[in-house]
């Protein structure tokens, strides 16, 4: 099947660590852009150069300013405390260039301030399953970003999974639930697998089964549209074994521990942009 190049914009990706690399590769593999539409920059030149070689045809640059030359969209994929420095390097960008930041906790008002106050800016909060096209990304637009800008950014992140637009006030909670969330789910998968191991299943079988179970249960929620509690009740028959396990989870405060983890992470995410 020939790829469909749906975006004509050239995109500079500043920072090609975990997320920048996932976005660059995902965009090319989904056929949303050709590699030649991408310019990559990282503090570690070899990282940008190797990814450009791997993607065949992408440009790589020694610094953010060079990568940003001629770009229509600049995707900032650096840590929150590196954003100001990267934007300082990009100060010569022409006024129409759209800046997209995926940095946790960096508010639109800070980003707008750092880019001169009039630039179109969009905040995006993706997650690591973007690496395999199964991510989820939430977008919030700044004061000078138009509906067309937002549409372009949606196209970028839809190539990596699902995407939705929410008011910026929700982005710290989104960071906790959706961006940090995979880490919480991995702990659950690890714990399920440890239980299987304790009951005599091999490590390999336990881990596969725990991951497969998480995947299946998540698909049930998404595909049936049923409330998780309803689906849980379908598994737990009166006097059965599942209710015994569910009561053990309640004894350990599982539900409130997980919910509190999201609450604490939301507060931590809000603090990231202030450092
Ligand atoms: N990882 C996640 O699960 C996730 C999910 C959602 C959002 N985010 C956000 O995504 C951003 C990136 O996270 P990450 O996990 O991909 O980080 P990462 O793996 O550390 O990648 C960031 C890369 O950017 C480079 N860099 C820093 N300043 C630069 C500059 N001025 N010019 C060029 N390159 C520069 C870094 O180089 P050095 O290492 O040499 O500094 C590093 O290679 C963060 O702001 C985070 O909040 C991450």
Q: What is the mean pLDDT of the chain?
A: 95
Same domain, yes or no: 28 and 161 = yes
Same domain, yes or no: 151 and 186 = no
C-beta of residue 96 within 8 angstroms of C-beta of residue 9: no
- Residue 23 lies in domain: 11-167
**Beta-ladder partners of 12:** 39, 74
Same domain, yes or no: 139 and 188 = no
**Cα 247 to Cα 233: distance, rounded to the nearest angstrom:** 13
- Domain end marker among 98, 133, 167: 167
C-beta of residue 152 within 8 angstroms of C-beta of residue 97: no
Mean pLDDT of 176-181: 98
Q: What is the CATH number for 192?
A: 1.10.3730.10
- Domain end marker among 103, 132, 167: 167
- Rounded to two decimals, the pTM is 0.94
**Cα 19 to Cα 23: distance, rounded to the nearest angstrom:** 6
What ranges make up the beta strands (E) of the chain? 11-14, 38-41, 59-61, 73-76, 98-101, 121-125, 135-141, 161-165
**Cα 111 to Cα 84: distance, rounded to the nearest angstrom:** 8
- Give the pLDDT confidence of 231-262 residue by residue, as tens digits: 999 999 999 999 999 999 999 999 999 999 99
- Give the pLDDT confidence of 117-127 residue by residue, as tens digits: 899 999 999 99
Q: Where are the alpha helices (DSSP H) in 57-202?
A: 64-68, 83-89, 108-114, 147-158, 171-174, 181-198
> Ligand 1 within 6 A of 82 CB?
yes
User: For residue 257, what pLDDT is reported?
Assistant: 98
Same domain, yes or no: 46 and 146 = yes
Domain assignment present for 175: no
- Domain end marker among 167, 195, 216: 167
Q: Choose the residue to mutate in 21, 26, 43 for probing ligand 1, maximizing ligand atoms within 8 Å of C-beta.
A: 43
Q: How many domains does the chain have?
A: 2
Burial of 155 (0-12, 13-18, 19+ CB in 10 A): middle
Q: What is the CATH number for 151?
A: 3.40.50.720
Q: Choose the residue to mutate in 24, 79, 110, 140 for probing ligand 1, maximizing ligand atoms within 8 Å of C-beta.
A: 79
User: For residue 91, what pLDDT is reported?
Assistant: 87
- Give the pLDDT confidence of 197-218 residue by residue, as tens digits: 999 999 999 999 999 999 999 9
User: For residue 275, what pLDDT is reported?
Assistant: 58
User: pLDDT band for position 2 (50/70/90)?
Assistant: very low
Mean pLDDT of 16-29: 95
Which protein residue has the closest C-alpha to ligand 1 atom 24?
15
Cα–chain center distance at 7: 20
- Give the pLDDT confidence of 138-175 residue by residue, as tens digits: 999 999 999 999 999 999 999 999 999 999 999 999 99
User: For residue 5, what pLDDT is reported?
Assistant: 59
For residue 75, pLDDT over 60 is answered with yes
């Amino acid at each position: 099947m020939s790829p469909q190049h749906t975006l004509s914009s050239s995109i500079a990706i500043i920072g090609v660590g975990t997320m920048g690399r996932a976005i660059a590769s995902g965009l090319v593999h989904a056929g949303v852009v050709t590699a030649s539409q991408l310019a990559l920059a990282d503090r570690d030149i070899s990282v940008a150069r190797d990814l450009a070689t791997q993607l065949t045809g992408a440009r790589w640059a020694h610094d953010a300013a060079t990568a940003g030359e001629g770009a229509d969209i600049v995707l900032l994929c650096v840590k929150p405390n590196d954003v100001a420095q990267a934007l300082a390097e990009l100060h010569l960008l022409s006024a129409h260039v759209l800046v997209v930041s995926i940095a946790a906790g960096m508010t639109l008002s800070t980003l707008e301030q750092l880019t001169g106050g009039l630039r179109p800016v969009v905040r995006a909060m993706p997650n690591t399953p973007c690496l395999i096209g199964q991510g989820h990304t939430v977008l919030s637009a700044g004061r000078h970003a138009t509906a067309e800008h937002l549409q372009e950014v949606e196209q970028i992140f839809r190539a990596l999974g699902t995407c939705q637009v929410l008011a910026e006030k929700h982005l710290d909670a989104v960071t906790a639930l959706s961006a940090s969330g995979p880490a919480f789910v991995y702990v659950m998968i690890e714990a399920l697998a440890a239980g299987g191991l304790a009951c005599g299943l091999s490590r390999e079988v336990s881990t596969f089964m725990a991951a497969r179970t998480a995947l299946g249960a998540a698909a049930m929620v998404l595909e049936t549209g049923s409330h998780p509690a309803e689906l849980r009740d379908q598994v737990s028959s009166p006097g059965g074994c599942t209710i015994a396990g569910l009561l053990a989870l309640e004894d350990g405060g599982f539900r409130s521990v997980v919910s509190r983890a999201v609450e604490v992470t939301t507060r931590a995410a809000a603090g990231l942009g202030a450092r």
